[in-house]
Structure 1
Amino acid sequence: MVIDFHTHCFPEKIAERAIGKLSATSGLMPYTDGTAEGLKKLMKQDGVDISVVLSIATNAAQQTSVNNFAKSIESETIVPFGSVYPDAEDALNELERIHSMGLKGVKFHPEYQNFFVDDEKMKPIYKKISELGLICVFHAGEDYGYMPPYHATPKRLLRALSWLDTPVVAAHWGSQGMGQDTLQYLCGTEIYIDTAFGYGTTPKPIQQAILEKHGVEKILFATDCPWHAPAMELFQIESLGLSDGEKEQIKSGNARRLLKI
């Protein structure tokens, strides 16, 4: 089994516009049309059984529609996470609604949402997430569409981790473009690290050092689809010199434990 812990898609009516805007901002070529059906087609092609879809509320007004869409695409092969905008007055209430809808986690993108992960204002939100037992996923490190300073560096994530009593995932091998800091600040902690967008961007020696120091039991296979295809990231995992059991843990075992499936 293969579980992709980090993918994205959009409602059909806005998918083309959303993918076009994101592609223009980042300079990246998408591998799907941005729809749920496009994601499922690529999953089938590349041998992915289940994808976790991470949506982002980029302003307060989007919260309800973003989370309603997330629930609408839930299926045997799609596990959607919700999102809240940190500065929204009703962020805590929306977290309650996310939980009541049966969504298993929330995704934050500190660049898109313009907050530092270790800002004191996040404490009530992290407390609520922890009380509800939601998985908390952060975009971590650099972002191709933004200039520094970045809002979710490994050092900042380490501080935020102390305020969360729930499973936390740092995307992009712990922090895109900040492998040495990931090794220094995050490896050995309780945080989970996903492999999204690692192919060709996170040096193989950094990946191997993270695996050695952090342990395969806290690594989650992920792609960042549509910005990378599953086949790319699966090839990368196969290149790391892991045993079959270790590869199974990364590809699905750890995710199954977190998602309780």
Structure 2
Amino acid sequence: MAGPLNLDDMVAIDFHTHAEEACGMHADDGYDDLQQAMAQYFHSPFKAPPTIPETAEYYRQRRIAAVIFHVDAEAATGHRRYNNEEIATLAAEHSDVLIPFASIDPAKGKMGVREARRLISDFGVRGFKFHPTYQAFYPNDRAAYPLYEVIQEAGLPALFHTGQTGVGAGMRGGYGLRLKYSNPMCIDDVAADFPDLKIIMAHPSFPWQEEALAVATHKPNVYIDLSGWSPKYFPPILIKYANSLLKNRMLFGSDWPAILPDRWLADFEKLDIKPEVRPLILKENARRLLGF
């Protein structure tokens, strides 16, 4: 069993990493095809998706803590999800570097609400991940609100994919996935209806970057993680807000294993970010948000 997480010894917190290797089972063939397409899209260096222990070792060597999760999209895709309990258990075995989030398809309704409560009380998950495009739901759909209520009540963050996605990119019909669900303006409703819910909008929100910045500027409970893109491609307006109005609500995220933190951090070094802002983005904002 790994020791406790000591963030004083960490150089950064990566707020966006994926548990891509199935836990205790092989993924469906359809999901294999999807992963292969994503690996091609992101030019992945991995021959096979890294396991959770392999992920932990990579981050341990670099003294970076990592928020790790999967995505439950069973209703929309028919793919078996990875087991939340097993991911949390594996993360606990590497608790010196891994911070477990869970994922529950909003389509699970009351069953999902019950599962969320159990994962919080019995497995110590520290937040929840949603992918509106992959899960085929609008974040402001009232059917998802009971799940948000549980997360808000527990004081935990909810992380939402926003903008275009590499999932299904280049596949026939984009694998049937629809980008409209991930417009960040839908998050504005959630932030207004759940003012005490800690909300993170994942990624530079192409093609809705200005909408995302407007939501985060207007709603103080909304953060942005900068994962999924190399920083060298960040639009100037995103860098401007990261240096000023939103400097306390921007988070480092890589999108592992699609993008390696080594590459992200090297490109981030070249950005015109104020010296006093860099530690906020790399660690301190995430630390405050997670309550560590």
Corresponding position of 1:72: 90
Provide runs of 4+ in structure 1 moved above 6 Å.
none
Shift in Å, 1:62: 5.5
| C-alpha contact 2:243 2:277 (8 A) present in aligned 1 | no
Q: Does 1:112 align with 2:134?
A: yes
| C-alpha contact 1:42 1:229 (8 A) present in aligned 2 | no
| C-alpha contact 1:3 1:48 (8 A) present in aligned 2 | no
CA change 1:127–1:176 in 2 (3 A) is: same
Shift in Å, 1:244: 3.0
Which of 189, 198, 205 does residue 159 from structure 1 map onto? Answer: 189
Which of 43, 57, 62 does residue 59 from structure 2 map onto? Answer: 43
Matches within 5 A, 1:10-21: 10-11=21-22, 13-14=25-26, 21=34
Matches within 5 A, 1:1-261: 1-9=11-19, 10-11=21-22, 13-14=25-26, 21-24=34-37, 27-32=41-46, 33-44=49-60, 47-59=62-74, 65-74=83-92, 75-89=95-109, 90-100=111-121, 101-144=123-166, 145=168, 146=174, 148-164=178-194, 165-173=196-204, 175-190=205-220, 191-199=222-230, 202-212=233-243, 214-261=245-292
SS at match of 1:121: helix
CA change 1:62–1:238 in 2 (3 A) is: same
Distance 1:41 1:15 in 2: 23
What is the Cα-based RMSD across aligned positions, in Å? 2.6
The one-character-per-residue Cα deviations of 1:30-62 (angstroms, maximum 9, x if unpaired) are: 3443211332343256x3421100221122695
Identity %: 26
Letter in 2 for 1:24: A
Rg comparison, structure with higher value: 2
Distance 2:182 2:33 in 1: 25
Shift in Å, 1:117: 0.7
Distance 1:166 1:148 in 2: 26
Distance 1:102 1:62 in 2: 23
Normalising to structure 1: TM-score of the pair?
0.87
Letter in 1 for 2:260: A
Normalising to structure 2: TM-score of the pair?
0.79
Deviates more, 1:224-233 or 1:33-42: 33-42
Gaps spanning 5+ residues in structure 1: where? none
Letter in 2 for 1:37: P
Shift in Å, 1:257: 1.3
Shift in Å, 1:65: 2.0
Shift in Å, 1:3: 0.8
Distance 1:186 1:106 in 2: 19
SS at match of 1:245: coil
| C-alpha contact 2:231 2:264 (8 A) present in aligned 1 | no
Letter in 2 for 1:187: T
